[in-house]
Amino acid sequence: MCSAKPKYMQVEDFVRNQIKSGLLEPGDRIPTEEELCDRFGFSRMTINKAIGNLASSGLIKRISGKGSFVSGRHVDNLINLNDSFTQGMERIGLKPGAKLLSYEVIQASVCPEKVRKDLILDNGDLVHHFVRLRTGDGTPFAINDTFISSRVVPAIDVSYLNGSLYEYLRSIGCPPGYMDLTISALLPDEMQKELLDAGDAAILCSSHVTYTDDSRMLPFEYTSTYYNGNMYTYRYHS
């Protein structure tokens, strides 16, 4: 029986399944266009369209004169609200890393409305705002965009932001407590495309509000973490 899927999508599914199953690993060359033409009996134009779509999604990279290769490692991560990015990377056997891209102290009046609302900020309140690139074994996996209320954390030593934020917060007597998390899918902006090598692939956005681990239960941190959707999958077990 003929497949109801367009021919180019059949080729895309074949390559995706080869990668998902581990038959093709990061850095491996995928079958050439000629090999795929022979395997499926499709035209060169159809095969080229499939490979172009896979490259645009960020799943593979095309290198002129050499072929097409599987992009960086895909992470299948179990949602655990008690996990930081560092703990999540360590749990799946990757060495976590962080690179501070920007840091500033701003007034709450210029923060996004949702940040002001969720952190219960007055317009004149000061807020630490910083952006970090998060890595696993040196490979860029995510971008953290973080806002922290100075009411709870008056000062931050930025040298510690190239490591685990939560380890630093614990060291200064402000351990994170309860966390409220939401997950959504977005189209990447130009910075996200470049830093995550995401192409036109959808970005997985995980946003959370963290509360103080004491009787006050004050919301003090709002972080949006942007993942390359082709490299990262969230799972949840109840």
- Regarding whether 153 and 181 lie in a shared domain, the answer is yes
Model pLDDT, residue 75: 65
Model pLDDT, residue 26: 80
On whether residue 1 sits in a domain, the answer given is no
- Regarding whether 188 and 86 lie in a shared domain, the answer is yes
The Cα–Cα gap between 201 and 185 comes to 10
Residues 17, 24: contact at Cβ < 8 Å?
no
CATH of the domain at 157: 3.40.1410.10
On whether residue 197 sits in a domain, the answer given is yes
The Cα–Cα gap between 170 and 213 comes to 10
On whether residue 2 sits in a domain, the answer given is no
What is the count of structural domains for the chain? 2
CA distance readout (Å), 53 to 24, 48, 73, 132: 18, 9, 19, 29
- Regarding whether 94 and 35 lie in a shared domain, the answer is no
CATH of the domain at 47: 1.10.10.10
The Cα–Cα gap between 86 and 122 comes to 31
On whether residue 199 sits in a domain, the answer given is yes
Model pLDDT, residue 138: 84
- Regarding whether 59 and 25 lie in a shared domain, the answer is yes
- Regarding whether 96 and 63 lie in a shared domain, the answer is no
pTM, whole model, 2 decimals?
A: 0.70
Residues 98, 92: contact at Cβ < 8 Å?
no
On whether residue 11 sits in a domain, the answer given is yes
- Regarding whether 95 and 55 lie in a shared domain, the answer is no
Model pLDDT, residue 1: 44
On whether residue 107 sits in a domain, the answer given is yes
- Regarding whether 169 and 81 lie in a shared domain, the answer is yes
- Regarding whether 81 and 102 lie in a shared domain, the answer is yes
Domain that holds residue 224: 75-235
- Regarding whether 118 and 208 lie in a shared domain, the answer is yes
Query: CA angle, corner 63, sides to 17 and 144, nearest 5?
Result: 70
- Regarding whether 172 and 61 lie in a shared domain, the answer is no
- Regarding whether 87 and 18 lie in a shared domain, the answer is no
* DSSP H helices in the chain: 7-20, 33-40, 44-56, 85-91, 113-118, 165-171, 190-196
Residue ending a domain, choose from 46, 70, 94:
70
Model pLDDT, residue 199: 75
Q: Which residues of the chain are modeled with pLDDT < 50?
A: 1, 238
Residues 206, 229: contact at Cβ < 8 Å?
no
